[in-house]
Chain A
Amino acid sequence: MAIGVKVMKRPEKQVSYVRATLKGMVLTFKHMLEKKVTMQYPEQKSTDREHGLGTYSLSPRWRGTHRMLTDEQGRSKCVACGLCPQICPANCIKLVPGEDEEGNRYPLIYEIDEFRCIFCGYCQEVCPEEAIHVGTHFENSEYSRGRFVYDLERLSSQTHAVSTLWDPADPKGE
């Protein structure tokens, strides 16, 4: 089958270069007077509630650095089931499970290497206890590479909002 080539119908006569030029200049001048659309980043952030640029909020699908939720006693909700390191496509979660005298499993070591992480959000989806979450945080500068391996304490001490991964009002993305 031949490939269809779209041939534009170009004007042959009566082409108005003068009028087209003037029209273009009027258009650009109008744009000068319009409202500026740039977000002034360090002062305005897309996570701010009141940045005044309504449409620029973070997407509900935004997946940033992780956060471990804790229960009322301040212990992590993680039961060291091992599902998240299992599903992690980047193999960035290190989990060593432990068990206390009552037989409750808890993580002895829980580390996420944020450099290896591809922020797919599978860990959050698979977690049966809703313990590990991807968050809405996106400003991640550090002075050393080692600081990007988040241990359990650091994951638990994060306070930023967690990602809903989808719009709660429209869970199937319709």
Chain B
Amino acid sequence: MTPELKGFLLLSVIKMVIVFTIIMVGVALLTLMERKVSAWMQNRHGPNRVGWAGLLQPAADGVKNILKEETFPAQANRWLFTVAPALSFIPALLLSGVIPFAAPLPVDFDFTLGPLGRFVHHGAMPMVVADLPVGFLFVIAISSLGVYGIALAGWSSNSKYALLGGLRASAQMISYEVAMGMSLIPVLLMSGSVSFSTIVAQQQAGLWYVMPLFLSFFIFTIAGFAETNRLPFDLPEAESELITGYHTEYSAMKFSFFFIAEYANVVTVCAMITTLFFGGWDIPFTDWDRSGGLLPTLATWLVFFLKVLFWVFVVMWIRWTLPRFRYDQLMALGWKVLMPIALAYIMVMCVAIYVVESVLGITSPVPASLALFGLNVGLGILVFGLLDSGVFIRGSGYRQQGRLKERGARTARAAVTG
């Protein structure tokens, strides 16, 4: 091994440890945050007994879950039943490795460490575990793997509720992946790259993509909610119908793992929203964050953290506001609303980007983004107007009226024939 490779590996291991720790601790604290937010929204206090303001509650939960008995349903497929929690947990953690969480930090060292030899690193170290050139394609690919864990958990439990939950999860996640993938194509059109680092750099040069690509953001957010099985899309769990869906039969730490996976997925989706549409670690209105050095790195890390935290809060806020979809409404929203909008939006953005860049000749990033932003305001008003007027999603009275009409026609026919 060359000293440069060793230096790179050393830094990678350090970054891995840091990211893994932050994600695991963060996920633990998110369970507390969820309970606190839900309590506040219901005029309650939430957990406040363990530690100061309940801060040790996640630790208490963890200890409890480790000490609980592991149960196996009698007819369960034991091997798959054990593997399923890990299968949903691993992809969720893998994803945290590809999202840049701060400005690159210049690291220079050159030292020799006994028998391990010489370690060398010069230049900026990107603050991401793996700066993959395939970027969000990797995220979409790996996040799809999470469905295996859920579907297998449901199937191997040999329980009706769990199986139904698993089936719902797989149908839902596959449906919404389509809309999710489609909604990211305009991002690719704008930035010309799928790499997160490039996308962040492009947004720093121009405007945050939430402005020129507002509808993409809208569709991606909804599909992201559905991908993480959060309310209003938590049909795989659906307490009122399926007990808790796919993890009905799980206990102790295996049950916990599903929760860790869910929250890790939430963090990933929120980090994706932040990186793709809200400038990632970018601090707006200043170039200081790219000047390099320890202070900008820490500041951008904090800004990224706050942005992600905000989106996590929005996820919880929506969870404690909206009721669950009915299953056919869920499928109708995914296939009949989000996917057509996403496809039409790709077409519109293709033309719009071509017109702005080639016909009008606006090549500098900010005016081009502003022009597209103007277009998006119009499109947004159009789409939200249509959604709002009940053209895409009809009121339940509309279906009822249809049923009544059908019944009236039947009685009329019966009267004629009889």
Residues of A within 8 A of B (CB): 9-19, 21, 24-25, 27-29, 31-32, 34-38, 40
Contacts and interface: CB of A to CB of B under 8 A. Distances in A.
A89 B363 CA distance: 91
Contact of B387 (A12, A18, A28, A29): A18
Given A13-B395, A18-B384, A29 B317 contact: yes
Nearest to B398: A12
Given A21-B322, A37-B44, 14 more contacts: A11-B395, A12-B394, A12-B398, A13-B395, A15-B393, A16-B389, A21-B321, A25-B317, A31-B40, A31-B42, A32-B37, A32-B40, A36-B43, A38-B44
B45 A40 contact: yes
B140 interface: no
B75 interface: no
A59 to B, nearest CB: 22
Contacts of A36: 40, 43-45
B395 A28 contact: no
B398 A13 contact: yes
B55 to A, nearest CB: 17
Interface in B360-399: 384, 387-390, 393-398
Given A31-B43, A34-B43, A11 B320 contact: no
B389 A24 contact: no
Contact of B400 (A10, A17, A28): A10
Closest 7 CB pairs of A and B: A10-B397, A15-B395, A12-B397, A15-B390, A11-B395, A32-B40, A18-B388
Nearest to B323: A24
**Majority SS at the chain A contact face:** loop
A12 B395 contact: yes
A38 B39 CA distance: 10
Contacts of A10: 395-397, 400
B124 interface: no
B41 interface: yes
Contacts, number: 71
Nearest to B399: A10
A96 B321 CA distance: 63
A24 B322 contact: yes
B76 to A, nearest CB: 39
Given A14-B389, A17-B387, A25 B321 contact: yes
B401 interface: yes
Contacts of B41: 28-29, 31-32
A19 B397 contact: no
Given A21-B322, A25-B318, A25-B321, A15 B394 contact: yes
A12 B402 CA distance: 10
Nearest to A34: B43
Interface string B313-330: 000011011100000000
A28 B384 contact: no
A16 to B, nearest CB: 5
Nearest to B232: A21
Contacts of A34: 43
Nearest to B48: A40
Contacts of B384: 18
B381 to A, nearest CB: 11
A38 B48 CA distance: 12
Contacts of B393: 15, 17
A31 B322 CA distance: 15
A88 to B, nearest CB: 40
B107 to A, nearest CB: 42
Contacts of B387: 17-18
A28 B390 contact: no
A53 B22 CA distance: 40
Contacts of B45: 36, 38, 40
24 contacts: A10-B400, A11-B390, A11-B397, A12-B398, A12-B401, A13-B389, A13-B398, A14-B390, A14-B395, A15-B393, A15-B397, A16-B389, A17-B387, A17-B388, A18-B384, A21-B321, A25-B318, A29-B317, A31-B41, A32-B37, A36-B40, A36-B43, A37-B44, A38-B43
B126 to A, nearest CB: 36
